[in-house]
Structure 1
Amino acid sequence: MSEATLPRRPAWLAGRATGPRLARHTLTLVALAVLLLPLADLSVVTRDPWTELGRMLQGLAWPDFAGVESPFRALGLTVSVALWGTLAGVVLGFPLALVFTRSRLVRAGCAFVRAIHELFWALLFLQVFGLSALTALAALAIPYAGIFAKVFAEILEQTPRAPADALPPGVGRLSRFLYAELPLAWTQLAAYTRYRFECGLRASVLLGFVGLPTLGFQLETAFREGRYPEAGALLWCFYLLIATLPWWSHRRLVPLLIIGGAFLLGPWPAVDGGLLWRFVSQDLWPAPLLAGDWAGLVEWFASIPDLGPAIGNTLLLALLGTVGALLVAMALWPLASRHFGNPASRLAGRGLLILLRSTPELMLAFVFLLLLGPSLLPAWLALALHNGALIAFLAARHADALEPGMPGLPASGRLAYELLPRIYPSLLALLYYRAEVILRETAILGMLGIATLGYYIDENFQYLMFDVAAFLLLVTAGLNIAVDSLSRRLRPREAPLEDPCLR
């Protein structure tokens, strides 16, 4: 076949320019999802989901606050766990940030601990510390230390060096850091810490799904037992907690919150050092490996059931969730942008985005699971709606900072020719940034009975097969690190990605 007869790309897909390259990325991602869609179990297995949805909406519209047992203690414990977990993450992560760029070992360790979701850390520490505050704090502090180390290191690396270079010769490294570098980075460090605390609030609620007595425990119980007015009251309490965060988390109130939270977290469990050492040195490791029996180790690997399908479902659901988040973001961001609609429609659009991005994926998936039954569909909807709303919220903020250059265009023209081409690189960069997060969330959705890696991790912890559960956690971490590396390579370089907290 001659070169003249070879099929060619359409002109708008050819070339190395930003537009064609991003179009190829998007079309490849969507085509891959469509190609693999028949492999996903997206069936609806409940009899009458609309009646159940009506009962849930009725409970949300007419909540029963009087039926909620000890709501203030649950809210206080949720805030205390988030605050002390975030504080411990800062204390552990900040020293690591100072050596992050110079130590490959530190970077690898931080990548590993942040690749495992907080709920999986909670399942691990639950075996040692039981249903205690120590389990909750460790579940937040360890992954947050890895996250803080990475983000703080990036912030410090971007700090201007001119003030430090202007200091006289002989000034020590510590003085140089305290007086010339830290003050310049302090605003961004504090902003990211506040953002991570908000994430900690959502994670603290989710810890209730493994039995810890935070707000999530009461939420799961109310939904599972069909007490939707109580569930609606608890949801409104959670949304009110998030909405009023700027007021009750003012820096002048933080010391009082820290002291009050310390009292709410008790009593602390008695830790048996011998049992802890046995758990770390023996229970988490395959017996053939400890005995040096390599043939037995091969048999041990072969005995792990459904490992391939679990990995496949996890990756498939992550891919579908990523593409779904892209479609949701593209559909929803104009609803919250000042360039479209009227004040009432924009207020409703922003409210919808805040509602969806404030509700944790596990909670959304749990509600959809009650409505639609056990399949990949509830998980897909939860991942797409939550992450798509978050990306749409940030895309709308980006669009609001732009001024159209062609006045007089109708709304469709302004969207297609003015705004979308200018914000799409940042939108796609945010999507690739969220891809690794979506994979982490995909794994934990298995705790609801969806056949991802999280389902088998939870099952092996329940059956006290700690060695298999630890191996599956390593597999989960490896997948997250690989996807994070791939997303960094694909992320558009033309769109410098700002961390969401800085907005």
Structure 2
Amino acid sequence: MERSWWNYELHKRKIVSFSLLLVFLWSLTSINWNKDLFHSGGLNTAKQIGAAIFSPDLSNDILLLALESSLTTLSYAVAGMSLALVIAFFWGILASGVLFSISKNNRYVKRFFRGHLGFMRAIHELVWAWLFVASIGLSPFAAIFALAIPYGGILGKIFADMLEDVRTEPIKALEAAGAGKWQTLMYGYLPMVRASIVSYAMYRFECAVRSSAIMSFVGIGGLGYQIQLSLDDLQYNQVWTFVFFLIFLVLLIDMWSNFLRNQLTSVNRAIKQLKTSVFLMILLLIGSWLSIFTIENANLSAVFTKENLHYTIQFFKGLIGIGEDQPAFLSSESWANALSLTWETLLMSIIATGFATIAAIFTMVPAARNVADGSLTLAKKWHGWLSFGMVRSGYIFTRAVPELIWAMIIIFVFKPGILPGAIALALHNYGILGKLLAEVIEDLDSRPIRNLASCGANKIQILLLGVLPATLPRFLTYILYRWEVIMRTTIVVGFVGAGGLGQQFKLSMSFFHYTDITLFLFFYLVLVYAADFISEKVRLVIK
């Protein structure tokens, strides 16, 4: 009889976990671990930045500036999300195929729109911003369109998936009663996905606020712009003032999202409270667009001019190498350089995912509510809720700050390279991953864990023998999802000197080497699609 240890089906999750760990450890060998990693005086700078967190600048001028910058950041996020929702609604419906009859041609239409959504979300919003600035100039609409396209792609894909997963029984009942395709959509599909769509849209709105903050990198004002200026002036106390305002903004949206989710899923809905939220959404939408057109002096007609059309055509001609004697994509040296940078970017994503995962695993147990209140381990201790509050606050703090802002701070301590980029990516994703893993523990069947606890197992034994075996499939799924996101974001941290494709992409934009940009974008998309493909295949293995 074959020994169970060699049964692949029985141990495939352990094999995948061990393989991922080996890949992470191997990636660490790409870094030369010595004192040269730090700037001269970098450790002292780190101490100064860390000390400043406890004494943010609370002067009236800075607080007023932070408030104005928060409103600017919020306005761009709302404007971008409003366009993203329009894109997501129409593209999501077409990509779901619910309006089509089952046929070969309609499957092609569905794939066509899903391909569109995939391309839109594959490119990071800051890369879209660079491309729009290069084609239509430094207009507020460059930032708004840059937010709308990737978020429209993400929301559209989720919307299409939700529509496809709707139970068929109510739809068939409507069709049997004589309802057409549009009627089944309006009275069948949409009501059943409404709560999920609102919940996910609010989560993406929270993300859009963070993305709006980093649009300062292409010349757009807001909290990110003030953080960048304060860092350049070495005003670390002011840096943390603006960071705390950003965190507060994200927290407000998160609380609003939780409130809406509870109201939409409640049997006894508070109609009055829902109406208040809808009114607030409309007010926020109108106020944001008014701010864009008045305070930011946006002019849509100025975007669609013959002059901008000329620049756009010239930009795209440059991307494909028209008029250039030696395009980068026809140079073997350029390909070799791009391949090297792609390899660096891949390593950065693996290191970042590994750092975030390790930190999340070591903190997820005290961050779970059923551990804090003692219901899981049958050991209620006075410090349970204290540990819970500290760890969860850390999660909120790290994930509320965008990766680029973390990179802007860390690059003051470390020399340019893949390590500061990996740390910046890990810090942001640690907060997200830790929260997700802690929620997995909260959803656990508590009986096996209680049996271990009653036998005298300590927290490490509970983690290794109870929590990890029961939660490993979902842990691996979340880790792989975050790797996909990190891969998409690696190019962004390179904009501040964190190495990889992003650093050279920014330089090529600055020196108008457009064919280099085309080559870097090609390899960037290859990485993003490869991460999606590998992640999907591994998830199928561990199911």
TM-score using structure 2 length: 0.83
In structure 2, distance between residues paired with 1:100 and 1:25: 33
Counterpart CA distance in 1 for 2:49 and 2:319 is 48
Question: Structure 1 residue 166: deviation in Å?
Answer: 1.2
Q: Once the two structures are superposed, what CA deviation does each residue of 1:201-256 show, in whole Å capped at 9, x if it has no partner? A: 11011112332101100001112221011111111111111222256674331111
Q: Distance in 1 between matches of 2:464 and 2:434?
A: 16
Query: Please, which runs of 5 or more residues in structure 1 have no aligned partner?
Result: 1-7, 496-503
Matched, 1:15 2:7: yes
Change over 3 Å in CA distance of 1:298–1:128 after alignment to 2: closer
1:296-349 deviation per Cα after TM superposition (whole angstroms, max 9, x unaligned):
786456456721221111111112122222212211211302325611111111
The whole-number CA distance in structure 2 between the counterparts of 1:289 and 1:100 is 33
Q: Which residue of 2 aligns with 1:204?
A: 212
1:400 aligns with 2:408: no
2:271 maps to which residue? Answer: none
Asked if 1 retains the 8 angstrom alpha-carbon contact of 2:401 and 2:428, the reply is yes
1:473 shift after superposition? 1.8
Alpha-carbon offset, residue 198 of structure 1: 0.4
Give the secondary-structure state (helix, strand or coil) at the position aligned to 2:221. coil
- Displacement of 1:264 after TM fit? 1.5
Task: Provide the rounded CA distance (Å) in 2 between the counterparts of 1:185 and 1:229.
Answer: 45
**1:95-125 residue CA offsets vs partner (Å, 9 max, x unmatched):** 1111214422222222112111111011111
The answer to whether the Cα contact below 8 Å between 2:328 and 2:334 also exists between their aligned partners in 1 is no
435-444 or 51-60: bigger deviation: 51-60
Q: Which residue of 1 aligns with 2:504?
A: 456
Q: Which residue of 1 aligns with 2:239?
A: 231
Letter of the 1:339 partner, please give it. V
1:425 and 1:364 map into 2 onto residues whose CA distance is 30
After TM superposition, list the pairs within 5 Å mapping 1:80-479 onto structure 2.
Answer: 80-101=75-96, 102=107, 103-167=110-174, 168-246=176-254, 250-266=277-293, 267-269=297-299, 270-271=302-303, 273-286=305-318, 290=322, 299-300=330-331, 302-303=333-334, 306-337=337-368, 338-339=370-371, 342-402=384-444, 403-405=446-448, 406=451, 407-409=453-455, 410=457, 411-479=459-527
Deviations 1:253-304 (A, max 9, x none): 11111111112213124125334434444422458864799x9786456456
Q: Which moved more, 1:21-30 or 1:221-230?
A: 21-30
Task: Give the Cα–Cα distance (whole angstroms) in 2 for the partners of residues 346 and 380 of structure 1.
Answer: 27
Shift of 1:83: 1.1
8 Å contact kept, 1:288–1:297: no
Any conservation in 1 of the 2:38–2:413 contact (CA below 8 Å)? Answer: no
What is the CA-CA distance between 1:189 and the residue it aligns to?
0.7
Equivalent residues, number: 484
Could you tell me whether the CA contact under 8 Å between 1:93 and 1:146 is conserved in 2?
yes
- Cα distance between partner residues in 2 of 1:296 and 1:412: 57
Q: Distance in 2 between matches of 1:114 and 1:445?
A: 18
Which deviates more, 297-306 or 33-42?
A: 297-306
Cα deviation code 1:125-148 (max 9, x no counterpart):
112333332011111001111111
Amino acid at match of 1:437: V
Q: C-alpha root-mean-square deviation of aligned residues, in Å?
A: 2.5
Q: Is the 8 A contact 1:283 1:467 kept in 2?
A: no
Counterpart in the other structure of 2:58? 65
Q: 1:140 to 1:290 in 2, by over 3 A?
A: same
Paired amino acid for 1:15: N
Whole-Å Cα distance in 1 between the matches of residues 339 and 468 of structure 2? Answer: 40
The answer to whether the Cα contact below 8 Å between 1:286 and 1:468 also exists between their aligned partners in 2 is: no
Asked if the contact 1:219–1:234 (Cα under 8 Å) also holds between the matched residues in 2, the reply is yes
Q: 2:534 aligns with which of 482, 486, 502?
A: 486
- Cα distance in 2 between the residues matched to 1:423 and 1:299: 49
Say whether the 8 Å CA contact 2:419–2:498 is kept in structure 1. Answer: no
Q: Does 1:40 align with 2:40?
A: no
C-alpha contact (below 8 Å) 2:328/2:335 kept by paired residues: no
**1:403-457 residue CA offsets vs partner (Å, 9 max, x unmatched):** 2331514333322222221112111101111112111111111101122111111
Query: Once the 2 structures are TM-superposed, how far is the Cα of residue 365 of structure 1 from its aligned partner?
Result: 1.8
Closer, same or farther: CA 412–471 of 1 in aligned 2, 3 Å: closer
Give the structure 2 partner of residue 74 of structure 1.
Answer: 69
C-alpha distance in structure 2 between counterparts of 1:440 and 1:96, whole Å: 22
Among the aligned pairs, what percent are the same residue?
A: 26
Contact 1:328 1:389 in 2 (8 A): no
Q: Distance in 1 between matches of 2:320 and 2:165?
A: 48
Deviation at 1:37, TM superposition (A): 2.6
Cα 1:487–1:82 shift into 2, 3 Å: same
Q: CA deviation at 1:16?
A: 2.7
2:266 matched residue in structure 1? none
Q: Give how far 1:41 is off.
A: 4.9
Distance 1:304 1:137, change over 3 A: same
Question: What amino acid is aligned across from residue 488 of structure 1 in structure 2?
Answer: E
SS of 2:53's equivalent in the other structure is: helix
Runs ≥4 residues deviating over 6 A? 295-298
Aligned residue for 2:411, secondary structure, equals helix
1:110/1:206 CA distance change after superposition, 3 Å = same
User: How big is the shift at 1:94?
Assistant: 1.4
Kindly indicate whether the alpha-carbon contact (under 8 Å) linking 1:59 and 1:228 is maintained by their aligned counterparts in 2.
yes
Question: Is the 1:122–1:207 contact (alpha carbons within 8 Å) kept by the matching residues of 2?
Answer: yes
Residues 286 and 297 in structure 1, CA contact (< 8 A), matched pair in contact too: no
Structure-2 change in CA distance of 1:148 and 1:62 (3 Å): same
TM-score normalised according to structure 1 size? 0.89
CA contact (8 A) 1:404 1:419 kept: no
Cα deviation per residue 1:175-218 (whole Å; 9 max; x = unaligned)? 01111111011000111110110010110111123321011000
Larger mean CA deviation between 399-408 and 302-311 belongs to 302-311
CA contact (8 A) 1:122 1:139 kept: yes
Q: Check conservation: 1:425, 1:492, Cα contact below 8 A.
A: no
Segments of 5+ residues of structure 2 without an aligned counterpart are 97-106, 258-276, 373-382
Asked whether the equivalents of residues 80 and 264 of structure 1 are also in contact (C-alpha less than 8 Å), the reply is yes
Q: Which amino acid aligns with 1:365?
A: A
